[in-house]
Copies of this chain bind each other. A is one copy, B any other.
Amino acid sequence: MILNSETKIYTDRESFPGVKRVAGKLAEDFSAVFGKKAEVKEIDGPVATGEGSVIIAATLRHSAYLDKLITNGDFDKTIIEGKWEVYSFMILPAKEGEPERLLIAGSDKRGTIYGLFHVSELMGVSPWYWFADVTPEKKSSVEITSKDCFVSKVPSVKYRGFFINDEWPAFGNWTFKHFGGFTAEMYDHVFELLLRLKGNYLWPAMWTSNFSLDGPGLENARLADEYGVVMSNSHHEPCLRHSEEWDLVKGEDTPYGTAWNFDKNREGLTNYWRGGLQRNGKFENIITMGMRGERDSEVLGATATLKDNIDYIKDVVTTQNKLIKETISVDLDSVPRMIAIYKEVEKYFHGDENAEGLKHWDGLDGITCMLCEDNFGNLRTLPEEWHRERKGGWGMYYHFDYHGDPISYEWINSTHIARTCEQMSQAYDYGIREIWIVNVGDLKPQEFPLSYFLDLAYDIDKWGQENKNAVKEYTEHFVDVNFPTFDAAQKKTTYNLLEGYTRLNYTRKPEALNPDVYDATAYDEAFAVLAKAGSLSSRLVRLWPDLKDDPLKDAFYQLVYYPVMAATNLITMQVLAGGNHYLAGIGAVKANEYADKIKKCIETDRELVREYHSINGGKWDGMMLSEHIGFTHWNDEECAYPVIMQVEPANRPRMIVTAGHGKKASQGGDWTRQKLVIDELLDPCVDTTFITVYNGSDKKLDISVNGVSEGRYVVENAAPDWLTVGLLGIGLKFDDMQPSDFRLMLTLDREKLKASGDAKNGVATTTLTIATEHTHVDVEVWAGECDDREMVPMLNKEQLSKETEPYIKDFVVTNELGLTLEASDVKKLSGSEGEYRILEDIGKYGSGFKAFPTTKYFDPEKGAPCAEYEFKISDASYEEMTEGGKVPEVKVTLLTAPNNPVVKGNPMQVGISVNDSDIKRIATVTDGYEGGERSCSQWAKGVLDQEHRVSFNVPVKAGTNTLRIYAVDPGVLIERILIRQTGTEWRYGYLGKTPEWIKKIIGD
């Protein structure tokens, strides 16, 4: 059938008002797409054949029309009956004078609503049409065929929603500017969005606002109920009353008293809670139970014992249950309730040997236990097996935005949905299926991950871990839904931009970036990150003019342009600031170029905020007010732009030389000269390195390399023929590069090296003298013949001893002098009791492996999943390692995702063996580790660094070695394995060897 400007929408007289309201929304979508609002009519007997096609929205038991279809055998009600939020989407053929009809038959109110919005989807209306200005494509008609017909699945998770939180200054200012407050006029858009996203559950904004008073009055709550949006208050606001509300009503001469303490003010609080239940109990809610201190704090003082606290909560919950019976229903089980097992309440839930925890208390039966991740997207303690099937089930409170330790993130999206997929699929595995709620902060900048979260909760089979392409497909889906009119190339670019900025932001949250994060020299990671950020923004800049007249321009601005530009600009600023500080420290005037660029970045950041606030006539004015640069503390207090350093050029020509990725600079003066050493070419994976020549003055430097001062592309005859000395940059020659700074690229040809006979024990040495008239710096280059990329590169004794010689104290130990294995480099996977799966496009480094089922503990000796990696030790290294009867060993470092144990105190072990050695269990988190606990430094560092690290030595043999990693405890996700000579250290660096995904530059 054809939908077009003549289509009519029918509801029943008995239809829920919410269904009627949503039918109206659909009618407006017709206006947006077809240019004319669809007529919404109340069905009254058979539908007459008319000019337009017909949509009938019905709900089981709320539709005489549907009843009649059932009675007539035209509809089999069993396909939906008794199911949660299901709808049948079918075309009824013309019959008995009635025309062909699109029948949407919901099992319940929201089933019907989802069905109605499914029509919108088919018409190409994005859930974000209002909240991100995704203007639908104008069409003359849309055809619905039998292929579009289906019965929807029962949603994977029963209650699915989000929490508008930490809404100041952004969301708060925005809604006051446009809607005069947190009013029903504003919430109307929120409810609609939620339902279009197939969610059903909401925690409203709660700072300086009262959902049930601001509508005005009860209008917010009433409207939510009409829409079928299930409301809760946040985890510390029990019995349908709001945190801010308490301050409004409490008082000496009120029924409520003043103390937020059930011991001291039992009567007052009972009155207070009763009032909330009486007022809002008539609506569909999940009632928050229990009690925490005011404004997210502990309720009892420091002297209270664990048992005191547990008893206190029991007393509170018992009272609240009684109040619910009294005010809402004697059938408690029919009243959805939840208790948040959050922060200190978790201790009360688990108890200890002296105090039985709440989890064993039957007073919680029927109340959903709401767990929480660590506020940074990593699950914490999960339901134990015995407890997974409890009455009331489990919920998960997740975060895309957080205001708290170690560093808040409340600006744009910094979640990579691959981690959400991995973690929330695991939550589902652990039986958390009753409630999923995600904190989206100000809502607006989280369009992408929020869409994913709700779609995942709605259909975990489609978007969860079991679909190994879920993340990729979802990202494409999101692009398709929101930019349907883009051509394939534009969609691809949009995809790359979305993926690119989210992964960069995931790698380090923007707020937690500072000039010291990406090391200015180590691993060249600063350049890699700059190049990545630059490739995203420059691609965007090329695309942007094409969208000048595109109806989706504003949508693209909000969903792609702003986050990509703002994130890459911020990253660029911080990385440049790191470089600026480093260059200022060595006296390179290039620092000043960086200084100018940093200032531009700061201006750009401010300009982007102004621009965001001005688009679409200022519709989003206020929404980007969150501070986002240089948090020095958990919140934005004392946040700081990077200090910008300036270097005054020296009075005379001054050359400054650095070698490879080393920090050390030498100016080559007679008395201060330092020999620099490059050992990077000992690494079989490294063929090129470089020498950087900076200018410390504004005078021209006349540079020569081993006496050669002529060159274009290549400096001829400056080095042995196995080492090419090139000039970086196309068409450059020495003269072009003065007085600016440049790199001499050193490229090793190992075939030529072998042929030359220059190597002794596989290693050749040559010295490049970089000279000006009065100064020179010798750079000693060590080059290895070995080109076996599985070989662990090592320094020989003589080289190691040079580290102690004063003239090369600042000896360059490079990124590569050690073996970096990515999870995806695995040679073999095995295991009879479960399996290791390689997850692609996840984490900081680009891949990871994790044991499945995620709920299982394995015995590494008994069929546990096993991943095998190979590395080689050269005979020469082996010989030196065994000198004096020593056991030859290498140092292995595992880089794991910052996942938390599924049970408190679990060490997240893996089993390790090399070759035929016994399997040794290695804990991947520190003793006493506690996810989400700010005093736990490994956790705090982990959520900022997006990794945990553990190092240990393993015995090796000469030749090929097999490293076997066995699953033991659940939840461990290993991303990288580093192997290195014992007694040496990895240089500092945030990334280390540049991950492939960062190297990937977006082309056209």
Chain A positions near chain B (C-beta within 8 angstroms): 584-585, 587, 595, 599, 602, 606, 627, 633-635, 637-648, 650-651, 667, 669-672
Are the C-beta atoms of A648 and B641 separated by less than 8 Å?
yes
Q: With A and B bound together, what is the CA distance between A406 and B823 in angstroms?
A: 53
Q: State which of B644, B667, B671 has its C-beta within 8 Å of the C-beta of A646.
A: B644
Give the shortest distance, in Å, between A597 (CB) and chain B (any CB).
13
Sorted nearest first, the 7 A-B pairs with minimum C-beta distance are: A637-B669, A641-B648, A644-B646, A637-B672, A584-B643, A643-B645, A633-B672
Are the C-beta atoms of A669 and B595 separated by less than 8 Å?
no
Which chain B residues border A633 with CB–CB below 8 Å?
671-672
Are the C-beta atoms of A638 and B587 separated by less than 8 Å?
yes
Which chain B residues border A669 with CB–CB below 8 Å?
635, 637-638
Q: With A and B bound together, what is the CA distance between A650 and B633 in angstroms?
A: 15
28 contacts between A and B (CB under 8 A): A584-B643, A585-B643, A587-B638, A587-B640, A595-B646, A602-B648, A627-B651, A633-B671, A633-B672, A634-B671, A635-B669, A635-B671, A635-B672, A637-B667, A637-B670, A637-B672, A638-B667, A638-B669, A641-B647, A641-B648, A641-B650, A643-B647, A644-B645, A644-B646, A644-B648, A645-B645, A645-B646, A646-B646
Q: With A and B bound together, what is the CA distance between A633 and B640 in angstroms?
A: 33
Which chain B residues border A637 with CB–CB below 8 Å?
667, 669-672
Closest residue of chain B to A635, judged by CB?
A: B671
Interface centre among A633, A651, A669, A671 (most CB of B within 10 A): A651
Q: With A and B bound together, what is the CA distance between A669 and B672 in angstroms?
A: 47
Give the shortest distance, in Å, between A771 (CB) and chain B (any CB).
15
Give the shortest distance, in Å, between A579 (CB) and chain B (any CB).
14
Known: A634-B671, A643-B647, A645-B646. 6 other contacts (CB 8 A): A587-B638, A627-B651, A635-B672, A637-B670, A638-B672, A644-B645
Q: With A and B bound together, what is the CA distance between A868 and B645 in angstroms?
A: 51
Number of copies: 2
Interface centre among A635, A648, A651, A667 (most CB of B within 10 A): A648
Closest residue of chain B to A642, judged by CB?
A: B648
Which chain B residues border A635 with CB–CB below 8 Å?
669, 671-672
Give the shortest distance, in Å, between A344 (CB) and chain B (any CB).
19
Which chain B residues border A595 with CB–CB below 8 Å?
646
Q: With A and B bound together, what is the CA distance between A671 and B295 in angstroms?
A: 14
Closest residue of chain B to A603, judged by CB?
A: B648
Give the shortest distance, in Å, between A592 (CB) and chain B (any CB).
10
Q: With A and B bound together, what is the CA distance between A669 and B627 in angstroms?
A: 14
Which chain B residues border A606 with CB–CB below 8 Å?
651
Which chain B residues border A646 with CB–CB below 8 Å?
595, 643-646
Q: With A and B bound together, what is the CA distance between A646 and B639 in angstroms?
A: 15
Which chain B residues border A642 with CB–CB below 8 Å?
648
Q: With A and B bound together, what is the CA distance between A620 and B551 in angstroms?
A: 74
Q: With A and B bound together, what is the CA distance between A644 and B649 in angstroms?
A: 12
Closest residue of chain B to A667, judged by CB?
A: B638
Give the shortest distance, in Å, between A634 (CB) and chain B (any CB).
7
Which chain B residues border A667 with CB–CB below 8 Å?
637-638
Q: With A and B bound together, what is the CA distance between A517 and B1001 in angstroms?
A: 48
Closest residue of chain B to A775, judged by CB?
A: B637
Q: With A and B bound together, what is the CA distance between A637 and B669 in angstroms?
A: 6
Which chain B residues border A627 with CB–CB below 8 Å?
651
Give the shortest distance, in Å, between A602 (CB) and chain B (any CB).
5
Interface centre among A627, A645, A670 (most CB of B within 10 A): A645
Which chain B residues border A587 with CB–CB below 8 Å?
638, 640
Q: With A and B bound together, what is the CA distance between A996 and B594 in angstroms?
A: 45
Closest residue of chain B to A602, judged by CB?
A: B648
Which chain B residues border A672 with CB–CB below 8 Å?
633, 635, 637-638
Give the shortest distance, in Å, between A439 (CB) and chain B (any CB).
19
Q: With A and B bound together, what is the CA distance between A595 and B639 in angstroms?
A: 21
Give the shortest distance, in Å, between A184 (CB) and chain B (any CB).
30
Give the shortest distance, in Å, between A415 (CB) and chain B (any CB).
24
Interface centre among A638, A639, A650, A667 (most CB of B within 10 A): A638
Closest residue of chain B to A581, judged by CB?
A: B643
Give the shortest distance, in Å, between A586 (CB) and chain B (any CB).
9
Which chain B residues border A599 with CB–CB below 8 Å?
648
Closest residue of chain B to A595, judged by CB?
A: B646
Which chain B residues border A648 with CB–CB below 8 Å?
599, 602, 641-642, 644
Which chain B residues border A644 with CB–CB below 8 Å?
645-648
Q: With A and B bound together, what is the CA distance between A654 and B799 in angstroms?
A: 53
Q: With A and B bound together, what is the CA distance between A242 and B640 in angstroms?
A: 61
Give the shortest distance, in Å, between A520 (CB) and chain B (any CB).
15
Q: With A and B bound together, what is the CA distance between A644 and B646 in angstroms?
A: 5
Q: With A and B bound together, what is the CA distance between A991 and B719 in angstroms?
A: 54
Give the shortest distance, in Å, between A794 (CB) and chain B (any CB).
34
Which chain B residues border A643 with CB–CB below 8 Å?
584-585, 645-647
Which chain B residues border A584 with CB–CB below 8 Å?
643
Which chain B residues border A651 with CB–CB below 8 Å?
606, 627
Give the shortest distance, in Å, between A157 (CB) and chain B (any CB).
35
Which chain B residues border A647 with CB–CB below 8 Å?
641, 643-644
Q: With A and B bound together, what is the CA distance between A645 and B585 in angstroms?
A: 12
Q: With A and B bound together, what is the CA distance between A595 and B643 in angstroms?
A: 12
Which chain B residues border A670 with CB–CB below 8 Å?
637
Which chain B residues border A640 with CB–CB below 8 Å?
587, 650
Q: With A and B bound together, what is the CA distance between A414 and B47 in angstroms?
A: 106
Give the shortest distance, in Å, between A524 (CB) and chain B (any CB).
24
Q: With A and B bound together, what is the CA distance between A643 and B584 in angstroms?
A: 7
Q: With A and B bound together, what is the CA distance between A180 and B645 in angstroms?
A: 44
Closest residue of chain B to A641, judged by CB?
A: B648
Q: With A and B bound together, what is the CA distance between A627 and B697 in angstroms?
A: 14
Q: With A and B bound together, what is the CA distance between A645 and B643 in angstroms?
A: 6
Give the shortest distance, in Å, between A65 (CB) and chain B (any CB).
58
Closest residue of chain B to A669, judged by CB?
A: B637
Q: With A and B bound together, what is the CA distance between A634 and B638 in angstroms?
A: 40
Give the shortest distance, in Å, between A388 (CB) and chain B (any CB).
38
Q: With A and B bound together, what is the CA distance between A599 and B595 in angstroms?
A: 15
Give the shortest distance, in Å, between A540 (CB) and chain B (any CB).
25
Q: With A and B bound together, what is the CA distance between A509 and B667 in angstroms?
A: 24
Interface centre among A633, A634, A639, A644 (most CB of B within 10 A): A644
Which chain B residues border A641 with CB–CB below 8 Å?
647-648, 650
Give the shortest distance, in Å, between A625 (CB) and chain B (any CB).
9
Q: With A and B bound together, what is the CA distance between A671 and B407 in angstroms?
A: 13
Which chain B residues border A645 with CB–CB below 8 Å?
643-646
Which chain B residues border A671 with CB–CB below 8 Å?
633-635, 637
Give the shortest distance, in Å, between A642 (CB) and chain B (any CB).
8
Q: With A and B bound together, what is the CA distance between A642 and B667 in angstroms?
A: 17
Q: With A and B bound together, what is the CA distance between A973 and B637 in angstroms?
A: 51
Closest residue of chain B to A573, judged by CB?
A: B648
Give the shortest distance, in Å, between A894 (CB) and chain B (any CB).
35
Q: With A and B bound together, what is the CA distance between A670 and B168 in angstroms?
A: 15
Give the shortest distance, in Å, between A979 (CB) and chain B (any CB).
38
Closest residue of chain B to A591, judged by CB?
A: B643
Give the shortest distance, in Å, between A250 (CB) and chain B (any CB).
22
Closest residue of chain B to A668, judged by CB?
A: B637
Give the shortest distance, in Å, between A858 (CB) and chain B (any CB).
44
Give the shortest distance, in Å, between A163 (CB) and chain B (any CB).
22
Give the shortest distance, in Å, between A633 (CB) and chain B (any CB).
5
Closest residue of chain B to A670, judged by CB?
A: B637
Give the shortest distance, in Å, between A694 (CB) and chain B (any CB).
13
Give the shortest distance, in Å, between A464 (CB) and chain B (any CB).
38
Which chain B residues border A650 with CB–CB below 8 Å?
639-641
Closest residue of chain B to A640, judged by CB?
A: B587
Q: With A and B bound together, what is the CA distance between A672 and B602 in angstroms?
A: 24
Q: With A and B bound together, what is the CA distance between A637 and B585 in angstroms?
A: 15
Which chain B residues border A585 with CB–CB below 8 Å?
643
Q: With A and B bound together, what is the CA distance between A940 and B667 in angstroms?
A: 24
Give the shortest distance, in Å, between A606 (CB) and chain B (any CB).
8
Q: With A and B bound together, what is the CA distance between A118 and B671 in angstroms?
A: 47
Closest residue of chain B to A587, judged by CB?
A: B640
Q: With A and B bound together, what is the CA distance between A630 and B669 in angstroms?
A: 16
Q: With A and B bound together, what is the CA distance between A638 and B643 in angstroms?
A: 23
Q: With A and B bound together, what is the CA distance between A615 and B644 in angstroms?
A: 38
Q: With A and B bound together, what is the CA distance between A647 and B627 in angstroms?
A: 17
Which chain B residues border A634 with CB–CB below 8 Å?
671
Q: With A and B bound together, what is the CA distance between A667 and B644 in angstroms?
A: 21
